[in-house]
């Protein structure tokens, strides 16, 4: 059979890896470009136009696609294993630099709104929480797989302590170090790490103890905040106020004198969530149309924390449903990739963990935008503005696509090496006789003949 000629039109057909995941990531990137263009003027610098904003975002998109392709073209999964083994050390180093307030001039920790989340390297800003999410999912995938295979050298004679040193300890330590910068990032990342450990097949007893340890860690942090009268771990107070604050700020706005301090303080508390609900309400089913949003002038973080409400305002509930379908499709396709990974536990956990990370953050963002739960500050993956988050999720998609390509090649190899259902060396007469016997059996004729022969013998 002649080999099919490679042209532009069948390029996608010849692309390896899960094609549905390719479609999902490309569609999310296109939605991101479209939404960043019309979302908010707050992103514009002095003398910039929206075309300048799109060009800046396109540079990030090009870099992100390059990262996806670099991961995609890595031929061996062992490279990902080796890099994943460094995930904990890398995350720990970044978080310690962040919390310590490092300032070396060229590299320094930046405090914004009373919290340290960003490390600036020259003109570039690195959002540490986004990096840690992906790095720790990959690290735990490696650690659990290496523990199961007995490849870990430290504490090899005591598996119980080895598990604490390589799996449970890093989980608790990273969660604790994330708390000073962001409660929601700590709880969400900790939850995803817990699910990865759970998917790794740990015992129910150990998982229950680990859960209790996590709750105890959170209680200790709250206690430190209370004892220090809010001087330490100040973000804990922010989280407590968002969850347990019962004050009716809407009534306070209505009862306060317009222009007073109380009026503006109460208005600041409800401005973003209420404007997001207004955006969802005004969007209707088909939306106002591209560039027609009005709430983008009211919500300062609409391009980040409230991107989904902006999408509904401009593209309606129909546009929101498309976004939800994309993330649900990613979850479904990732389940298929996991099944195709065979006995490779690292590949299974990496794909499952990264898919849960992307889709979990997406649905957490959506819930906040429709006023289900307190504000968390979690962006919409691959869509919201933010270079660090976008590039980290590009790496996550690249790993998923690379593993899907490797898994599909493994399946093709097994199919080629499998024994055929029909022996090709048999002559045509023998094959026809076997097929005739099969037809007789299915029709019941062979059984009837057998009974007749048996009767004759009797």
The pLDDT of residue 451? 44
What counts of helices (H) and strands (E) characterise the chain? 18, 3
Q: Which of 135-144, 217-226, 304-313, 349-358 has the lowest mean pLDDT?
A: 217-226
Answer with the residue of higher pLDDT: 240 or 405: 405
Type and span of the H or E element at 390: helix 387-417
Pick from 302, 286, 223: nearest CA to 294 = 302
> What is the rounded distance in angstroms from the CA atom of residue 197 to the CA atom of residue 209?
13
Q: Is the pLDDT of residue 81 over 70?
A: yes
What average pLDDT does this structure show over 337-356?
Answer: 92
In tens, the pLDDT along 407-456 reads: 877 766 666 666 555 555 555 556 566 656 656 655 555 544 544 444 43
Q: What percent of the chain has pLDDT over 90?
A: 31
In a domain, 4, yes or no: no
The pLDDT of residue 82? 93
Most confident of 209-218, 324-333, 407-416, 420-429: 324-333
In terms of domains, do 253 and 287 share one?
yes
In a domain, 11, yes or no: no
> What is the rounded distance in angstroms from the CA atom of residue 143 to the CA atom of residue 266?
48
Pair 35, 303: CB distance under 8 Å = yes
Pair 402, 71: CB distance under 8 Å = yes
Task: Provide the domain limits for residue 117.
Answer: 16-415
Q: Is the pLDDT of residue 399 over 90?
A: yes
Pick from 144, 131, 175, 209: nearest CA to 394 = 131
The pLDDT of residue 214? 83
Between 19-39 and 50-72, two packed helices, what is the crossing angle to 10 degrees? 160
Pick from 286, 276, 278: nearest CA to 309 = 276
In a domain, 176, yes or no: yes
The pLDDT of residue 452? 44
Using a cut of 0.85, tell me whether the model's pTM lies above it: no
Question: Who contacts 256 (Cβ-Cβ below 8 Å, separation ≥6)?
Answer: 262, 263, 266
In tens, the pLDDT along 142-185 reads: 999 999 988 888 887 888 889 999 999 999 999 988 888 778 88
Q: Is the pLDDT of residue 39 over 80?
A: no
Pick from 395, 388, 393, 384: nearest CA to 127 = 388
In terms of domains, do 362 and 438 share one?
no
What average pLDDT does this structure show over 6-21?
Answer: 68
Question: Who contacts 347 (Cβ-Cβ below 8 Å, separation ≥6)?
Answer: 77, 338, 341, 403, 406, 407
In a domain, 116, yes or no: yes
In terms of domains, do 162 and 259 share one?
yes
In terms of domains, do 368 and 432 share one?
no
Q: Which of 132-146, 246-260, 283-297 has the lowest mean pLDDT?
A: 246-260
Q: Is the pLDDT of residue 383 over 70?
A: yes
In terms of domains, do 92 and 166 share one?
yes
Most confident of 46-60, 83-97, 180-194: 83-97
Q: Is the pLDDT of residue 233 over 70?
A: no
Pair 391, 60: CB distance under 8 Å = yes
Q: Which residues pair with 116 in a beta bridge?
A: 111
In a domain, 51, yes or no: yes
The pLDDT of residue 140? 95
In terms of domains, do 449 and 309 share one?
no
Domain total in the chain: 2
Cβ count near 251 (within 10 Å): 10
In terms of domains, do 235 and 180 share one?
yes
Pair 404, 346: CB distance under 8 Å = no
Residue with tokens 């009268």: 229
What average pLDDT does this structure show over 290-304?
Answer: 74
Q: Which of 73-82, 165-174, 386-395, 402-411 has the lowest mean pLDDT?
A: 402-411
In a domain, 125, yes or no: yes
Residue 111 DSSP symbol: E
Q: Which of 36-45, 153-162, 222-231 has the lowest mean pLDDT?
A: 36-45
In a domain, 315, yes or no: yes
In terms of domains, do 358 and 438 share one?
no
Q: Is the pLDDT of residue 91 over 90?
A: yes
In terms of domains, do 405 and 439 share one?
no
The DSSP secondary structure of 349-387, one letter per residue, reads: HHHHHHHHHHHHHHHHHHHHHTT-S-------TTTSS-H
In terms of domains, do 434 and 365 share one?
no
In terms of domains, do 433 and 405 share one?
no
In a domain, 420, yes or no: no
Q: Is the pLDDT of residue 204 over 60?
A: yes
| pLDDT tier, 385 (very low <50, low <70, confident <90, very high otherwise) | confident
Q: Is the pLDDT of residue 366 over 80?
A: yes
What average pLDDT does this structure show over 19-41?
Answer: 86
In terms of domains, do 445 and 364 share one?
no
């Amino acid at each position: 059979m002649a080999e099919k000629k490679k042209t532009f039109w069948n390029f996608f057909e010849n692309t390896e890896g899960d094609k549905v995941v390719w479609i999902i990531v490309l569609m999310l990137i296109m939605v991101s470009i479209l939404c960043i263009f019309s979302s908010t003027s707050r992103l514009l610098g002095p003398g910039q136009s929206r075309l300048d904003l799109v060009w800046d975002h396109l540079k990030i998109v090009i870099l992100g696609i390059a990262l996806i392709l670099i991961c995609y073209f890595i031929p061996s999964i062992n490279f990902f294993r080796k890099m994943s083994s460094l995930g904990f050390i890398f995350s720990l180093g970044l978080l310690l630099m962040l919390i310590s307030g490092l300032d070396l001039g060229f590299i320094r920790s930046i405090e914004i709104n009373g919290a340290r989340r960003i490390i600036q390297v020259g003109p570039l800003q690195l959002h540490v929480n986004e990096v840690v999410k992906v790095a720790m999912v990959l690290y735990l995938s490696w650690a659990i797989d290496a523990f199961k295979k007995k490849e870990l050298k430290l504490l090899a004679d005591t598996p119980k302590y080895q598990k604490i040193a390589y799996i449970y300890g890093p989980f608790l330590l990273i969660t604790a170090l994330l708390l000073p910068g962001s409660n929601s990032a700590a709880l969400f990342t900790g939850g995803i790490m817990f699910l990865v450990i759970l998917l790794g097949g740990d015992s129910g007893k150990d998982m229950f103890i680990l859960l209790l340890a996590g709750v105890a860690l959170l209680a200790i942090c709250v206690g430190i905040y209370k004892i220090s009268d809010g001087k330490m771990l100040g973000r804990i107070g922010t989280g407590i106020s968002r969850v347990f604050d019962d004050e009716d700020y809407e009534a306070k706005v209505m009862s306060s004198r317009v222009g007073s301090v109380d009026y503006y303080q109460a208005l600041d508390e409800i401005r973003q969530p209420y404007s997001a609900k207004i955006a969802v309400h005004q969007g209707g089913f088909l939306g106002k149309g591209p560039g027609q949003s009005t709430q983008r002038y009211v919500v300062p973080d609409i391009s980040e924390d409230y991107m989904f409400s902006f999408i509904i305002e401009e593209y309606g509930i129909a546009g929101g449903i498309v976004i939800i379908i994309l993330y649900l499709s990613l979850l479904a396709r990732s389940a298929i990739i996991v099944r195709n990974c065979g006995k490779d536990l690292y590949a299974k956990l990496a794909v499952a963990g990264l898919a849960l990370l992307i889709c979990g953050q997406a649905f957490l963002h959506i819930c906040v935008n429709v006023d289900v739960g307190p504000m968390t500050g979690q962006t919409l993956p691959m869509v919201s503005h933010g270079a660090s988050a976008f590039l980290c999720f590009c790496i996550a998609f690249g790993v998923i696509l690379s593993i899907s390509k490797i898994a599909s090649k493994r399946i093709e190899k097994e199919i080629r090496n499998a024994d055929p259902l029909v022996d090709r060396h048999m002559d045509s007469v023998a094959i026809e006789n076997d097929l005739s016997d099969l037809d007789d059996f299915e029709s019941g004729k062979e059984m009837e003949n057998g009974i007749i022969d048996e009767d004759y013998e009797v």
